[in-house]
Amino acid sequence: SHCRFYADLTLKVFTIQPTHDQECNPALEASAEENAARMKRKRCEAQSEMCSPADWIRQDDWPVGIRNVGNTCWFSAVIQSLFHLPVFRRLVLNYHLSERILEKCKSHSDKRNIAFMQELRCLFALMVGSTRRFVDPSAAVELLRDAFRTSEAQQDVSEFSHKLLDWLEDAFQLAANGNNPEDKQKNPMVQLFYGTFVTERKHEGKTLHNIEQFGQYPLQVNGFNNLDECLEGAMVEKEIESLHSDHIVTSGRERWFKKLPPVLTFELSRFEFNTQLGRPEKIHKKLEFPQIVYMDRYLHKNIDQTHERRGEVKKLKEQLALLQQKLECYKNYGSGPTKYPLADMLQFVLEFATTKPTSISPAEDLRPAASSPTPANHPVSEPASKDNRCSTQRNSSSESQISSPFTQCRHPLDCPPHPAPHSITEEELHFVKTCLQRWRTEVENDINELKASIDKLTQVLEGMYSDNSLCQVPYRLHAVLVHEGQASAGHYWAYIYDHGNKRWMKYNDISITESSWEELERDSFGGMTNASAYCLMYIDDRLPHLITEDTDDETGQVLRGIDSLPPLLRRYVHEDNRWFQQELSEWEEQFCQTAAPQGESTASAEPPSTSSDNIQQTPAIREAPEQEAEQEAEEQQQESPARQRQTENEVSEVEIPNVGRIMVRADADGYNEEMMLTPAMQGVILAIAKARQTFDTEGPEAGLIKAFHEEYSRLYELSQEETTPQEDARLQHALVYFFQNKAPKRIIERTLLEQFTDRNLSFDERAISIMREARAKLRLIKPQDMDMDEYMQWHDDYRLFRTVFVYLLTGLEHYQHGKIREALIYLAHAYETNDGLLRNGEKRGVDKSLIALYRRKCLTALNERASRLFCSGEESKVEEGVAIMDEAVIPCLHLMSRDTALSLEDRDAMESIRSHWCCCLGQDMDDSLQVKLGEFLPRVLDGSADTVVLKDPPKVHVHQAHDLCSRLAAVMESIHNASIVIVK
């Protein structure tokens, strides 16, 4: 039914002529309305961390992400790489079918392809002009899933890409006005993505030719080190002429590209089936690829020139192999099973010959009675004569007898003497030294000459195809699809080159960040982690129209955003943006109702109160703190007089700490008793109480000014006090944090003014008057009067500071109760967030040494637990141990390895963990354990991988500030059973 709906909708959309725009609008509005409803239903359930509309709004011209609707990262990666190819984007957005052709489309496949093209056009249009940060691809994905007959399994990128190109080709074939195979050459998809190659083979002395078409060209990874070696191996089956590979296949066939497509896509075959284990495995071998690859040497028109170069390469490689063989003889010399470098062996013999001679046998030297501390270390400058040696022996014997009581208990091998000749004359020593030194010099010279010749030959080989005659067909890397994980599961993302701004971008579902070639290499080459390139998309660098943006036909100016869309899709995007704005309004209205259950209405766009307690519970787009007095009066007049008299007479008495008892009206608008008990609100209520006399004599404005100065002075004095173990003053109020970190004065003043606009102050007439006066003054502060981005950044920092404290406290409480795994996740997140704060000042965060200490304790204990489970050999325990490593230990190690200011204790702990797992390699264990160890050991050892992400901790409620420090003091006293640790 879904396919039929969109097929019918497409029939309406694509058959519309310019005179039927009005008829088309309802169809587009219906599609936009359904898209908005779908986004509204699924956004928060898929991205629960983004609960604020501010996280849904697109920033300027930043690219639009694609939401993962359930194992569909493969869809996002491929679609983004195609969308950001301007020539392809134009083809899709301008796709058109006449009414005559649509009437002929009766088959299921035709209707499905048309429906998919409609969804792709709508998706591309939203990615061009939407005000959303990310869009929902559910409709297009559902069509694809129907074709794949699955809804849960992750799809292989190549499988999806082939299916996508097939559907697009068929859809454009309909637009090409015919199904004749000869017309396929006019198909835009064929012209853009498909090329031809010719296969030649020898048969009975004749050369046979066979021409075939290709779309995505497959390349093997095993046996090769770079893209050129892969291509050479794929094109020349009779012999692979690669610089470093020993992979040889004998065959009589050669392949040559006859025609290259403008967009050349290589599939890297990184999966193979392990017959022993009976399952597919991923090939993690490192494979390098360049940003520009020259395809001249693989073209059929250059067959003679390439054959000549390959002949030269073969000769040079034979010479290179001979030189390397000679060099190997010098490096590994000897006729026995163990071989050593010849130069070192000559040096060792020289050292033996020049060692002081001795006539004492090794056996005699081991007897305790004959041991002496002096002979082995006694220096001599000349070889001793026979008489002198006898004298020395007598003296040594005499000395040994005297000192024997002191040396008999010492083990004779504590100071073993070096082996030495029993006797050698000066003439013999001179002759041996001369020969050995000369031979060693000759050997070193031979080795240097061989190395120089090898380097020279290697340079010649590497430059064999680098001259201008074979560098006329450059292809530039446009996109890299990356797969992280194993054969059975994993995650896809894409690196795409931004041709306009000359930069690499990383597209990871809804997350889009600026990247670099270095990061791309780290994630894509493979070899060290379980992330590697799976698909490479190159574009012909000689065709600028592939990457040229749309321009206006009259002015020639580049069209950007929604202006570049056809009129039909432009209206569709406008309609979807309208629905999005309505959704934001509904969310804000719903939030206001939740925040003000008594029914207070707000209409202004000013930010709300951002007190130390409110900021934890208020999203980025907040309710306005002020309300027009006229609106309040109108609402009060609408109530019946009886109801007004009833509520005015209903009051209750509330005890406020540090303030006393206050009378609260039953109809107090938005009153929240829990909020009234927070330190921030206590201070405001007390300040209003102190300003009572000023209020009564001079009016609400003077009362507000008096209360403002009272609270300002109190918070400033609090910020200057020394903190105690039981209380960190920064947790009581945001202004204490701002004062200590020297925030700008206007930010401090606005923050405090917002405290006096809180709806909880509507407990009596005096407080209501001061609240209204504060809201009126807040409205006078215009956006141009202060930098609101800087204002929000200060409050975000304070929110992060409180979050760090809560993470630290929660982690320590878990540690106290033996929940080490949960504790490590909280402490690791606390350290990372806190480290970012401390870069801006020591008062911005918590003392990081305390977090690091218990993070280290948890990491060490958890690693020991994982090791015990893994080495037990029991399947369930092994899986639990691997899960601990993957979810907690390894991500924590990667975060620590990227910390340039890591302490020595942390570095020692990391080294101990890595050494422990390396030692496991030498232990006897089952093959299955060896496989599992081999899967995660590289990630334990490699601390440079950016793709390992620490699991997010469960959401925690930020308790009231006066409770946090006392809880921390209690848990520290429980852990140490000693004095309380002071937290700065």
Give the span between the Cα atoms of 481 and 944, in whole angstroms. 20
In angstroms, rounded to a whole number, what is the distance separating the alpha carbons of residues 72 and 87?
A: 25
Q: Please state the three-class secondary structure of 119-153 as a single string.
A: HHHHHHHHHHHCCECEECCHHHHHHHHHHHCCCCC
Residues in the chain: 984
> Amino acid identity, residue 471?
C
What's the start-to-end Cα distance of the chain, in Å? 63
What distance in Å separates the CA atoms of residue 231 and residue 491, rounded to the nearest whole number?
27
Residue type, 774: A
Contact 316, 310 (CB under 8 A): no
267 alpha carbon, distance to own chain's centre: 23
CA distance 450 to 444: 10
**Angle (CA) 252 285 198, round 5°:** 25
CB–CB of 440/351 below 8 Å? Answer: no
The pairing of beta strand 511-514 with beta strand 503-508: antiparallel
Pair 704, 755: CB distance under 8 Å: no
Buried b (16+ CB within 10 A) or exposed e, 197-208: bbeebeeeeeee
Tell me how far apart the alpha carbons of residues 87 and 124 are, in angstroms, rounded to a whole number: 13
CB contact at 8 A, 972 and 981? yes
What tokens were used for 269? 């075959």
The amino acid occupying position 280 is P
The Cα–Cα gap between 188 and 975 comes to 70
CA distances from 193 to 199, 234, 298, 890 (A): 20, 19, 18, 41
3-state helix, strand, coil in the chain (%, to 5): 55, 10, 30
Phi/psi zone of residue 506: left (φ > 0), alpha (ψ -120 to 50 degrees), beta?
beta
Residue type, 103: E
Does the annotation count 73 as an active-site position?
Answer: yes
**Token output for 827:** 């402490």
Rg (CA), the chain: 39
Residue 528 CA: distances (Å) to CA of 349, 532, 945: 42, 9, 8
Give me the DSSP letters along 345-371.
HHHHHHHHHTSPP--S-HHHHTSGGG-
Q: At a CB cut-off of 8 Å and minimum separation 6, what does 573 contact?
A: 32, 125, 126, 128, 129, 130, 562, 565
| Options 300, 478, 483, 491, the catalytic residue | 491
Query: CA–CA separation, 950 vs 828, rounded Å?
Result: 8
491 is catalytic: yes
The answer to whether 209 and 225 have CB atoms below 8 angstroms apart is no
Which residues, at least 6 apart from 588, have a Cβ–Cβ distance to it below 8 Å? 53, 621, 623
Residue type, 26: P
- Strand-pair category, 195-203 with 253-259: antiparallel
At residue 223's C-alpha, the angle toward residues 217 and 228, to 5°, is 50
What are the backbone dihedrals phi and psi of residue 23, each rounded to the nearest 5 degrees, phi first?
-70, -30
Choosing from 24, 73, 122, 858, the catalytic residue is 73
> What is the torsional sign of CA 716, 717, 719, 720?
positive
Q: Which residues contact 602 (CB under 8 A, 6 or more apart)?
A: 592, 596, 623, 624, 626, 627
Number of neighbours of residue 930 by Cβ within 10 angstroms: 14
Give catalytic residues, as residue numbers: 73, 491
